[in-house]
Structure formats: C-alpha cells, structure tokens
C-alpha cells in the first residue's frame, strides 16, 4: 500500500512539472533586474568573466580581494538592453589579509565591463501559459479602458462637448420659461375659479401645488441654469485659450492612473530563463613584487620591481535555468594582456634582516617576504582563449561543478591549463538570492608541460585554492 501511494505522489509530481504548459516571452526590464540581483547571485565568483551583480570576494589563489558593482540604466533598457559592471581589486603577494604591507598595496587593478544582450528578443522568460493568459486579459482590459478615455481626450472632442453642454443648457432654459408661462396662465385661471368657488378645497390644493412648481421653475430659470451656462462659457473660453495645458494635464492624470492599475496586477513567477549576452572588458592592473637572485651579492640579491598591465577581453555568455532542468552558466572568450612571466617563475620565502645600533647584530628585526626566482621578463603580450562553465547538480542552484580550461599564447608557447572546482551557494530558506558563495578548486598548470619543467610533475605544477564571494544586497540600477 505504501508503494502505491509513493507511486501516485511521484506520478503527480511528474505531471505537475512536465505536464505543465509553458510559454517563452521576451525579457523585460523588471525580470532582467531580478536576474541580476537575485538569480545571478548564485553564480557570483571572483573569477567569473561575464557575471553581473554587486559583490565582494576573496581569492586565496591570487591573494586578492575584489569588489564589483553593476549599473542598469532604467529608462534606456528597451532601446539599448545592457548593463555596466565596475570592478576594483587589491592584493598582496604574501597573503590575502592583510592586503597592505608596510602601507603599500602589492597589487591594484580596475576594470570596466559592458554587458550587452545578444538578440534581446531571443532572451526569454518561461511562464505558465494559463496564468500568462489571465494576466494578459486583465492587462488588455485596463489598457482598452484608458485608451478609450485617451482617444476621447482631444481638442475637437472636448470643444464639441463643451459647446453641446452650452446649447443643451440654453434649450432647457427656453423650455423652462415656456413651462413657467403656461403655469402662470394656469394660476390666473385657478384664481378666478377660487373666487367663484371659495369653498372648493380641491381647487385650493391644486393652486398651491402649481405655485410650488412655479417657484422651482423660477429658481432653475433665474439661478441654476444661468450659473451652468456662465460656467460652461467660462470653461470654453479658458479651454480655447489654454487647450494644450488642459489637455496635457488630463492626459498625465490618465496615464498615471493607468500605470497604477497595471502595477497592481498580480505578478507571475517565472519558471525559467534563457539569456545570452556579450561582455566587453577593459582593465588596468599594477603589480609590485620582489625578485630574488641568489647568485648576486646580498645587497643586490633582492630587488623590487613593478609592472603595469593593460588588458582587453571579449566574451560570449549564456545562462539558462528552469524548474524542469538544472541551471547552467557558460562563457567563452578571448583576452589580451601586456603582462609578464611571473606565473611561470618559482617563489621562495626570504627573510630580510635589518640591523640597529652601533655594533653589528646588537639589535635587528626580521621581515619575511615572498620573492620570485628565475629569469623575469616583462612587457610580454599574451592571448588567452578560455571557457568557463558552472553546471548545477540541483534545481535550487546550491551545488555546481566548475570547469575553466584555457589556452595561453605567450612567448611562442601555447600553455594549456585548467581549473576544476566544487562550487557551493548558501541561501536562506525560500530565498532565491545567495548570501555566500564558496569554491574549492585545483589549478592544473601547463598540462602538456610546454615549458619543459622537468623538476615538477603535473600535480606539483598545480595548486589548491579557495574563493569566497559575498553578494551585496543593494540595487545600483538608475
């Protein structure tokens, strides 16, 4: 019996998910905001090339702290569906925290990313068909109601309406005067009869009622209708002088009322998204580091150096998710940098001793620093072709597998490397946005040993790392 109920529940769930009719509609501004500030928080990482959002992150592999903010122009989204992301980062060659060493920042960089929707009409949202149809019907009713009012709201229509009211009031005034004359004649006739038949209560009652009707007519003729006629004349005169001002004031009121009613429509929860965009990035990084050469004298063995590195990147990104399938983000692109060969150099920990006092070694202090050993070369232009993929193993976007293979062309070498990681997004219950993302990964550097580094095998050339990102919950759309 338990198996029977279990089977029924499974079939019901399967029908609910896979038997549900859905429809894809074009992405709009509000849903794009929801993507950026809610859904994209699940894939924010310091190493992502094309993800939008506001965040702070720490990367143990690069010894770097990074901050990012995304700006979306509200009024121009339909004309130019795009967003801008500004990133700023700083680091230290020795450790992530503190990133300042002797009040000097070892590395500092900024970059600006322009994200442009690719074929905006094909960037779609998936909705339940029945709910979408109901919402469309209600929306059309509101729009039709206000369109009718707005169509009537025109100079000829309003002028004709005022003229019609003026003529109508004048005709009523004439009709009331004719009725009043008839009542006066009737009163004279009844007065004569009352003189003859003074004891007739019926004649007296009829005369009293006619006198009351006469008083009402006099009030309409002498007070009510003249006021309406004068007010209509004044309105017509003001309208003819200031027709545009009146028209636009009324139009603004109607448009505001329509917007308020449309905003009160029940929002439909999106069942899924399909979005593709192009990212163009320009950046500038400055790095300070130390070089160690044990063959030189102690004084010259350690020297400080720095390097300024401009960069440019072009990427194509895709993100899709649905209640029917797991979420998947992937990106592929190419980067250009004017860099150096620090990644291929070995590092050593060097202790620098400073002596104090008149006698040698009477007082001294030690400073531990990380230095690079080997033949350093700067000003090396490099091109990198990469792919970046996050595939979530669940539909709540909690756990993902991260793959990041890349091919680096530098100094006539083609160095193939890849990064493999386990990515976890932490969320509050029933909340789509993440408050913490963490990834443990391993970098496989120079898998094909293009640099002929026989001293270290594949695993020795790589390293483990940890990235932590904190999505920031504030909106920077304007």
Question: Is residue 217 pLDDT above 90, yes or no?
Answer: no
Tell whether 388 is covered by a domain. Answer: yes
Question: Is residue 27 pLDDT above 70, yes or no?
Answer: no
Question: Does 312 lie in the same domain as 290?
Answer: yes
Query: For position 441, what pLDDT does the model report?
Result: 92
pLDDT > 70 fraction of the chain, expressed in percent and rounded: 73
Q: 46-60, 184-198, 272-286: which has the highest mean pLDDT? A: 272-286
Backbone φ/ψ region at 123: left (φ over 0), alpha (ψ -120 to 50), beta: beta
* Backbone φ and ψ of 218, nearest 5°: -60, -40
Report field, pTM of the whole predicted structure over 0.75: no
Query: For position 98, what pLDDT does the model report?
Result: 47
Least confident stretch, 146-155, 301-310, 346-355, 419-428: 146-155
Question: Is residue 287 pLDDT above 80, yes or no?
Answer: yes
Query: For position 6, what pLDDT does the model report?
Result: 47
Identify the domain containing residue 216 by its residue range: 138-263
CA distance 224 to 172: 11
Question: Does 280 lie in the same domain as 232?
Answer: no
Question: Does 437 lie in the same domain as 398?
Answer: yes
Question: Is residue 17 pLDDT above 50, yes or no?
Answer: no
Least confident stretch, 403-417, 437-451, 455-469: 455-469
Question: Is residue 104 pLDDT above 60, yes or no?
Answer: no
Question: Is residue 57 pLDDT above 80, yes or no?
Answer: yes
Least confident stretch, 19-33, 36-50, 264-278, 449-463: 19-33
Q: 106: domain CATH number?
A: 2.40.160.40
Least confident stretch, 93-97, 188-192, 383-387: 93-97
User: Averaged over 286-300, what is the pLDDT?
Assistant: 73
Query: For position 158, what pLDDT does the model report?
Result: 60
Query: For position 188, what pLDDT does the model report?
Result: 79
CB 68 within 8 A of CB 48: no
Tell whether 383 is covered by a domain. Answer: yes
Domain total of the chain:
2
More confident residue, 79 or 108: 108
Question: Does 210 lie in the same domain as 70?
Answer: no
Query: For position 23, what pLDDT does the model report?
Result: 62
Question: Is residue 2 pLDDT above 60, yes or no?
Answer: no
Query: For position 399, what pLDDT does the model report?
Result: 92
More confident residue, 193 or 412: 412
DSSP code of 412? T
CA distance 421 to 279: 23
Domain limit, last residue, from 231, 263, 295: 263
Tell whether 335 is covered by a domain. Answer: yes
Mean pLDDT for all residues in the chain: 76
Question: Does 280 lie in the same domain as 199?
Answer: no
Query: For position 334, what pLDDT does the model report?
Result: 95
pLDDT digits (tens, 9 = 90+) for 240-282: 665 555 556 666 777 788 888 877 776 677 777 888 899 999 9
Residue among 106, 78, 10, 51 nearest 369 (CA): 106
User: Averaged over 79-84, what is the pLDDT?
Assistant: 80
β-strands 22-26, 55-59 pairing: unpaired
* Backbone φ and ψ of 252, nearest 5°: -65, -40
Domain limit, last residue, from 202, 232, 263: 263
Question: Does 456 lie in the same domain as 333?
Answer: yes
Containing 320, the helix (H) or strand (E) segment is strand 302-322
Least confident stretch, 62-76, 141-155, 169-183, 209-223: 141-155
CA distance 420 to 441: 5
Query: For position 126, what pLDDT does the model report?
Result: 76
Question: Does 207 lie in the same domain as 170?
Answer: yes
Tell whether 7 is covered by a domain. Answer: no
Tell whether 12 is covered by a domain. Answer: no
Domain limit, last residue, from 263, 287, 321: 263
Tell whether 465 is covered by a domain. Answer: yes
At 34, list the tokens. Answer: 């929801």
- Strand, coil or helix: 144: helix
Look up tokens 């399967």; give the residue.
Answer: 14
At 106, list the tokens. Answer: 């070892």
């Amino acid at each position: 019996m338990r198996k029977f109920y279990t089977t029924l529940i499974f079939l019901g769930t399967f029908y609910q998910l896979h038997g549900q009719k859905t429809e894809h509609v074009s992405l709009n501004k509000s849903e794009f905001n929801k993507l950026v500030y809610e859904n994209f928080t699940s894939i924010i990482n310091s190493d992502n090339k094309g993800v939008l959002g506001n965040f702070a992150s720490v990367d143990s592999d690069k010894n770097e702290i990074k901050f990012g903010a995304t700006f979306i122009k509200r009024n121009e989204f339909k004309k130019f569906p795009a967003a801008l992301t500004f990133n700023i980062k700083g680091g230290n060659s020795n450790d992530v925290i503190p990133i300042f060493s002797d009040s000097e920042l070892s590395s500092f960089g900024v970059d600006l990313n322009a994200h442009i929707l690719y074929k905006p009409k094909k960037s779609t949202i998936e909705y339940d068909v029945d709910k979408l149809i109901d919402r469309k019907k209600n929306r059309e009713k509101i729009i039709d109601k206000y369109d009718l009012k707005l169509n009537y709201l025109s100079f000829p229509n309003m002028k004709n309406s005022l003229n019609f009211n003026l003529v109508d009031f004048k005709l009523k005034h004439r009709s009331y005067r004719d009725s009043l004359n008839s009542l006066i004649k009737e009163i004279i006739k009844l007065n004569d009869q009352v003189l003859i038949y003074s004891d007739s209560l019926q004649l007296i009652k009829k005369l009293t009622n006619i006198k009351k009707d006469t008083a009402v007519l006099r009030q309409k003729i002498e007070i009510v209708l003249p006021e309406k006629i004068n007010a209509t004349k004044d309105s017509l005169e003001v309208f003819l002088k200031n027709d545009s001002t009146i028209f636009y004031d009324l139009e603004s009121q109607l448009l505001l009322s329509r917007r308020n009613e449309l905003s009160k429509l029940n929002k439909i929860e999106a069942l899924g998204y399909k979005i593709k965009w192009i990212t163009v990035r320009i950046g500038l990084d400055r790095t300070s580091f130390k070089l160690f050469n044990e063959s030189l004298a102690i004084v010259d063995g350690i020297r400080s150096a720095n390097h300024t590195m401009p960069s440019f990147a072009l990427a194509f990104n895709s993100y899709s998710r649905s209640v029917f399938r797991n979420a998947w983000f992937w990106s592929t692109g190419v980067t250009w940098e004017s860099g150096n060969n620090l990644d291929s150099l070995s590092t050593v920990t060097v202790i620098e001793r400073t002596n104090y006092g008149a006698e040698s070694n009477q007082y001294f202090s030690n400073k531990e620093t990380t230095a690079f050993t080997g033949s350093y070369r700067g000003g090396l232009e490099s091109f990198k072709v990469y792919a970046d993929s996050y595939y979530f193993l669940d539909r709540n976007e909690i756990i993902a597998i991260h793959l990041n293979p890349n091919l680096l062309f530098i100094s006539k070498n083609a160095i193939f490397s890849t990064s493999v990681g386990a990515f976890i997004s932490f969320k509050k219950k029933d909340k789509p946005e993440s408050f913490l993302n963490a990834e443990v990964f391993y970098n496989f550097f120079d898998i094909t040993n293009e640099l002929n580094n026989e001293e270290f095998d594949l695993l020795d050339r790589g390293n483990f790392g940890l990235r932590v990102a904190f999505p920031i919950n504030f909106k920077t759309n304007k």
